[in-house]
Amino acid sequence: MYQQSYGQPAYNARPPSAAPSHYSNHSSRHGSPPMAPPGADPQLWQYFSAVDRDHSGSISVSELQAALVNGDWTRFDVDTVKMLMGIFDSDRSGSISFNEFSGLWKYITDWQNVFRHFDSDRSGSIEGRELAEALRSFGYTLSPHLLHLVERKYASPSTGYGPPPGITFDRFVRACVVVKTLTEAFQRVDSDRDGWVQMNYEQFMSIVLSAP
């Protein structure tokens, strides 16, 4: 019988860190951009200003999605963009300020380091064995069945030609965050840590629907 396990990460690779491998500069200059806050990193402010296309002083979901691209130049999945907004929009304004953007930038850079570490064949995507190794490094040893489900759910859309697509950077981040979120929610219910829980329908739905 396959034993699910969750524990301490073996590889110290945390999400949250700096710049995406690529960001697309589609800045359309309407009026003068706002001044940089005192003490702001000039390079980071330049990135922020390029993403803030309407010069409102904050970044919307659509502006962030337009700026973030994967290594193969595909745009970030909108669900991943919304997840990132949800994590870093600390004041729940619906947009990202410069201070919030600083945290987001660092987060993405940290995740990029993780992605590059586990993309052992340098294909630009994460496949089966690489995914298993990445999740195991975070302390999540999933069964082959669950790994297959994760890979199938977060794989890039297929073109219908060639081998099955792997998981691009943006979807890899979301997959790892979802596994982490669901595992931590399960652990809160699994008080004796035996891998078994008893819960009602309301609890189950709350856990599933709370995942990003």
pLDDT on residue 92: 93
Contact indicator for 102, 109 with CB cutoff of 8 Å? no
Name the amino acid, one letter, at 23. Y
pLDDT in tens, the chain (212 residues): 334 554 444 333 444 333 344 444 444 445 566 787 888 888 999 999 999 999 999 999 999 999 998 988 889 999 999 999 999 999 999 999 999 999 999 999 999 999 999 999 999 999 989 999 999 999 999 999 999 999 999 998 765 555 557 899 999 999 999 999 999 999 999 999 999 999 999 999 998 888 87
What CA–CA distance (Å, rounded) separates 190 from 163? Answer: 39
What CA–CA distance (Å, rounded) separates 28 from 49? Answer: 10
Return the structure tokens found at 152.
Answer: 């199938």
pLDDT on residue 158: 65
3-class SS of residue 65: helix
